[in-house]
Amino acid sequence: MSLRAILASAEAVGDGLTVTIPDGWLQGRTAFGGLSSALALHAARRIVPDAPPLRSAQVAFVGPVSGNVTVTARLLRRGRNATWVTAEIAGQSGVGLVTTFVFMGAIDSALQVAGEAAPGGLLPPGEGLVPRNGPGFIGNFEWRYAAVEGDEPQAELLRWVRLRDREGLDVETELLCVADVLPPGVMPLLRGPEPISSMTWMCNLLAAAPRTDDGWWLLRSRGVYADAGTSSQDMMLWNAAGEPVIAGMQSVAVFG
């Protein structure tokens, strides 16, 4: 069941939605975080359909999200340039996801700092090898190696990723779903399959109207710290032209 079909199946209830998470979108005992975040954004957009572009998302993965869930949204503040909306997802186990979205229009400014450019020497989108292992939900995506990897494992993953069925999706929802696809950057350093759990995720959208070619986005997850069962990682997403689209950071619990 595609993301578009899941959104279409959601039923409106007051300031929220009820929806069923299909098994094909699960990551262990909870929904894939990108799907949950996209559902929360969909509910937020529903109560502020005329809000400016999404510029920032703060996500807390509080607990499992699966089965029949309720997504509620609440307007926190609407200023002259920025709008804040919070959204939550709750199921039988209680609240599983808490988000805050910031929508902001363009402001005249003399300050300009270019974002980080994509790495050089990349394999063309869609032409790299397909990773042999992946999470259960990965069947909803296509993903490929974006560069030839060396023999020594590094705390970094670089992949081309796109949704298999993205027709009719707004680009913000598509991006929020795609941007969380990669496993933790420290995964190559682990001794074997180990339980992991994302705890928090923050991402800033660097383009008001992002676009790419043929649905392909370049994702990088880089572990910058790991100790005592927790890992901090930097995350980037570029379009097919190498232009920066999302900068993020995530905290991940690593049980191993």
Give the residue numbers spanning the domain of 41. 3-105+118-254
Flag whether 112 is in a domain: no
In a domain, 70, yes or no: yes
Read off the pLDDT of residues 26-42 as tens digits, 9 standing for 90 and up.
998 899 999 999 999 99
Would residue 113 count as lying in a domain? no
| Domain assignment present for 30 | yes
Q: Is 111 among the domain residues?
A: no
* pLDDT value for 256: 65
What CATH number should be reported for the domain holding residue 199? 2.40.160.210
Assess if residue 140 is contained within a domain: yes
C-alpha 85/C-alpha 100 separation (Å) is 6
Residue 38 domain flag: yes
Beta-strand runs (E) in the chain: 11-13, 16-21, 26-27, 30-31, 54-61, 67-78, 82-91, 94-104, 141-145, 156-163, 196-205, 217-227, 230-239, 244-254
Which of the 8 DSSP states describes residue 127?
T
Answer whether residue 234 is part of any domain. Answer: yes
pLDDT for 194 beyond 80: no
Count up the domains in the chain and report the number.
Answer: 1
Lowest mean per-residue pLDDT among 68-77, 109-118, 233-242, 244-253: 109-118
